[in-house]
Amino acid sequence: MRFVTVDDAGRERPGVLDGDDVVLLPHADLVAVIEAGMPLDLNGLPRVALAEVALLAPLRRFRRDILCTGWNYWDHFEESKGKRDGQDVDRPEHPTFFTKGPDVVIGPYDDIAYDPAISAKWDYEAELALVIGKTGRSIPVAEALDHVWGYTLANDISQRDLQRAHGGQWLKGKSIDRTMPLGPWIVTADELGDPQDVRLQCLLNGEVMQDASTKQMAYDVATLVSELSFGMTLRPGDLLLTGTPAGIGNAREPQVFLKEGDEVITRSDQLGELRNTLVYRELS
C-alpha cells in the first residue's frame, strides 16, 4: 500500500492511494494510522481524485528529531576525503548517526527555502528513508526489518560551511527550516520488498548528479535499525534517513553548490519522485 497526507480543501488528511484516487482515512494523521496497525478496512470511506488534492509531506508530526545516517556509502565517504575542512576521520566501524530538527520537513513539490545569508555551500543528498512501525529497543538484526512500517524518499539538503563550523557535529548544518523534501508517499514494507534493491537518483536542473543502488550501502537497513536501537527505544512514526551515495556537490571538481532557482529532483522507480525548486526566503 502507498500512504499519503493530502490537503483536502484546507484540511490535512491521511489517505491510501488507490489508482488515481485517494481513500481518505478517519485517523488524525499517518502516525495514528501506524499506531493503529494493519489491516485497514477501506470499505465505505470517502474518496477524492489525487489530481484534486495537494500532496503534503507524508509525516507531519514527530515525537523527536529526524534520525539520520552519515557516511553509509563507502564511495561517498571516499569522495569527500580531503574536502572536510580538516575534519577527516578514518572509516567508521559502526554506522554514524546524527539528527535534524523536524522543522526542516517540506512536501514533495514544495519550494526549498533558500537564504544565501545562512550559507554559501548548499548541497543535495538523495536518500532512502524508513518509518518505524513497531516499538523496540536493542532489536536483533534478524528482527529489525519487522520493525519497519514503510519507506519513502528524502533529500537531506545540507549547508556544508555550517556543518564544519560547529565543532564537526552535523546538527546545525542539517537543520535549516523548510529545506528537506519528504515523500511523495510512504510505500509499506511488504509492497517495497527488499530495501537493499532500491535505485536512487538526484538530478540538478535535469543533470543526473547521483545514481546508485542501496546495494552499495556500507551498513544495510537491518543493521542500521539494530544498531540505532541498541539501548535506545524506537517508536512508531520515527523517521530514519539511511545515508546518501556518491556525487554530492561538495566533493566534485569543481564543486557544485545549489543556488536560487535550481530544481532538484530526487527519484526512485519504486518510491516515486520529489521535485523541488530553491526559492529565496529570509531565514537569517
**What pLDDT, on the 0 to 100 scale, is given for residue 89?**
80
- Do 183 and 262 belong to one domain? yes
CB 95 within 8 A of CB 232: no
Name the 3-class secondary structure at 62.
Answer: coil
* pLDDT tens-digit map of 242-251: 999 999 999 9
- Do 12 and 115 belong to one domain? no
- Do 114 and 207 belong to one domain? yes
- Do 155 and 108 belong to one domain? yes
CA distance 29 to 6: 10
CA distance 109 to 262: 13
Last residue of a domain, one of 15, 34, 56: 56
Q: What is the mean pLDDT of residues 76-93?
A: 81
Residue found under cell 548528479: 209
Residue 61 lies in a domain: no
- Do 34 and 70 belong to one domain? no
- Do 102 and 226 belong to one domain? yes
Q: Give which of 247, 262, 252 is closest to 114, Cα–Cα.
A: 262
- Do 23 and 127 belong to one domain? no
pLDDT value at 87 more than 80: no
**What pLDDT, on the 0 to 100 scale, is given for residue 282?**
97
Residue ranges making up the domain that contains 44: 2-56
* pLDDT tens-digit map of 143-164: 999 999 999 999 999 999 998 8
Sign of the CA dihedral running 43, 45, 49, 53 = negative
Q: What is the CATH classification number for the domain harbouring 27?
A: 2.30.30
Indicate yes or no: pTM above 0.85: yes
**What pLDDT, on the 0 to 100 scale, is given for residue 126?**
98
**What pLDDT, on the 0 to 100 scale, is given for residue 199?**
98
CB 184 within 8 A of CB 274: yes
* pLDDT tens-digit map of 91-105: 899 999 999 999 999
